[in-house]
Amino acid sequence: YSNDPSAISYDEIADEVITIKEKYAPPLRQNTDK
């Protein structure tokens, strides 16, 4: 897969999505817990 450009692109996109989720999800969860 490392030789497949589309796989690498998808990996990078998935990484960015996870980072965004982890940045915005925790505050929402904290507000819900309170």
Does residue 31 carry a pLDDT above 70? no
| Residue 22 pLDDT | 83
| Residue 5 pLDDT | 66
* Nearest-angstrom CA–CA distance, 15 and 10: 8
Does residue 1 carry a pLDDT above 80? no
Domain boundaries, the chain: 1-34
Q: Give 24's pLDDT tier (boundaries 50, 70, 90).
A: confident
The pLDDT of 13-18, averaged and rounded, is 88
Mean pLDDT of the chain: 73
